[in-house]
């Protein structure tokens, strides 16, 4: 699936998982238990990646993609 222009602010993440998801312009700020969120085979744009990194997310299941390639028919 795809999450586009979403906002997660002051959320508590318990046993949360994002799998096979593309996240674009997704905002993460001041979230609890964020280190426990699992990202499995996810693709994110540069802005979303910066928010994830700032929230100390485990970035091992994340691939950084070019914004212009999202939604294109390659």
Residue with tokens 């691939």: 63
Strand segments, DSSP code E, in 1-74 are: 2-4, 7-9, 17-19, 22-24, 27-29, 38-40, 42-44, 62-64
Q: What is the pTM of this model?
A: 0.81
Taken as a whole, the chain contains a residue count of 74
Mean pLDDT of the chain: 87
Query: Over 90: is that where the pLDDT of 68 sits?
Result: no
Per domain, the residue ranges of the chain are: 2-10+19-67
**Nearest alpha-carbon partner for 65 in 44, 47, 50, 49:** 44
pLDDT tens track for 31-64? 887 888 999 999 999 999 999 998 889 999 999 9
């Amino acid at each position: 699936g795809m999450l586009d222009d979403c906002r997660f602010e002051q959320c508590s993440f318990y046993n949360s998982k994002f799998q096979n998801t593309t996240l674009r312009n997704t905002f993460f700020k001041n979230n609890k238990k964020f280190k426990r969120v699992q990202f499995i085979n996810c693709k994110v744009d540069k802005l979303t990646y910066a928010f994830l990194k700032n929230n100390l997310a485990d970035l091992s299941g994340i691939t950084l993609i070019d914004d212009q390639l999202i939604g294109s028919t390659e």
